[in-house]
Structure 1
Amino acid sequence: MKRLFARYADVMDSVSVFIGHGCSVLFFACIAVSALEVVMRYGFDSPTVWSTELAMTLCASAWVLAVGYVTQRHRHISITMIETLVSPRVWHVMRLLQMVIAAGAVIVLTMALWDPMLKVLKRTEHSGTALNSIQPTYLKILLVAGCVLYILQLAANIIRWCQRTEGEIAGGH
């Protein structure tokens, strides 16, 4: 059973890293779209109706989907001063507590997002902008997907914590 859990953690880590690296392309695409808008607006006095909405969607997608990568790398924002005030053993236990609380909070968030996601799957919502894209529908589905990735990666991190295979995470905040 221990090997099965370790294998799950390895696979989940690989999935999170793959998605995280893939999300970096979305940030570059956002930069390109924003630069194009600047050139079109100020260089040709012909702004686009789609660039702002697309840039927001690209950044939101990258941010939401990269949560597994950030969690796998232990790079969430945290208050590291506490780590210097407590013993390594206490800090180790506090990390588990943090992961369990985070998993509980994200499960509650997923439950809260579930019904709105189901509603937009039945009836597509549009942004109401000049582009009138399906951004609200897309983002509601994406938020649930991001929550699931986060929960799955937290489970992998908890497995690594229990098996004491986390590796070096000092300075990873």
Structure 2
Amino acid sequence: MIAFSRFSLALAWGAAALFTLAGVMLTYEVVARYFFTKPTIWAAELSQLCLIWGSLIAMGWALSNRRHIRVTAITSLLGHGPQRALELFAMVAVALFSAIVVWKGFDIFYDSFERGRTTGSLLNLPSWVAELSVPFGFAVLFVQSLVESVRLLRGDFIPADKVPNE
């Protein structure tokens, strides 16, 4: 579990780098287009890829650090036992949903890969480059939800009112 947590953290740092790279590319595009009237053919599409990959590969880290959206209006009124049970239920639901997305997402990726689909843009990148991020990101989320389930079953639980709000 520690190794996967490190992997998840590395992916989160990679996502941060991708977000930064997207910002740099879009800034360059704005400057090139509006100050030098020399727009690029690559900045918009590559920054979209960075944002897509960054968002999806960071999901596991967000789950492990409870940085996803949580509605705790009712659960925070419950005792620690019911909160833990609901948290475990949520992790199982995330795991099931993620498994379905990995399955269906892989089918979409593989179909595009086999058929050689492209984006149809000026760069004409293969479509599977963006589509692969879905099964990969949700596979990471699936494993992380299983890790979180095991942690909950072992008694490692943070009540809703104690989760940091940084």
Same fold (TM over 0.5): yes
Give the SS at the match of 1:15. helix
Are positions 1:36 and 2:28 aligned together? yes
Partner of 2:145: 154
Counterpart of 2:120 (choices 121, 124, 128) is 128
| 1:166–1:86 distance in 2 versus 1, CA, 3 Å | closer
Amino acid at match of 2:62: V
Select the structure with the greater relative contact order (CA < 8 A; seq sep ≥ 6). 1
Deviations along 1:49-100, whole A, 9 cap, x unmatched? 2111111110111001111111111111121212323222211111001011
Deviations along 1:84-122, whole A, 9 cap, x unmatched? 232222111110010111111111122222221221232
Give the SS at the match of 1:81. coil
Separation of aligned partners in 1, 2:71 and 2:125: 39
Is the Cα–Cα contact under 8 Å of residues 33 and 55 in structure 1 kept in the other structure?
yes
- Which portions of structure 1, spanning 4 or more consecutive aligned residues, are displaced by more than 6 angstroms? none
Are positions 1:18 and 2:18 aligned together? no
Is the Cα–Cα contact under 8 Å of residues 20 and 66 in structure 1 kept in the other structure?
yes
Post-superposition shift, 1:166? 4.4
Partner of 1:91: 83
Are positions 1:62 and 2:62 aligned together? no
What TM-score do you get using the length of structure 1 for normalisation?
Answer: 0.87
Give the SS at the match of 1:132. coil
Q: CA RMSD in A?
A: 1.7
User: How many correspondences in the alignment?
Assistant: 164
What TM-score do you get using the length of structure 2 for normalisation?
Answer: 0.91
Amino acid at match of 2:57: L
Return 5+ residue gaps in structure 2 as ranges.
none
Separation of aligned partners in 2, 1:171 and 1:122: 45
Return 5+ residue gaps in structure 1 as ranges.
1-8
Counterpart of 2:155 (choices 152, 164, 172) is 164
Is the Cα–Cα contact under 8 Å of residues 67 and 149 in structure 1 kept in the other structure?
yes
Separation of aligned partners in 2, 1:143 and 1:57: 12
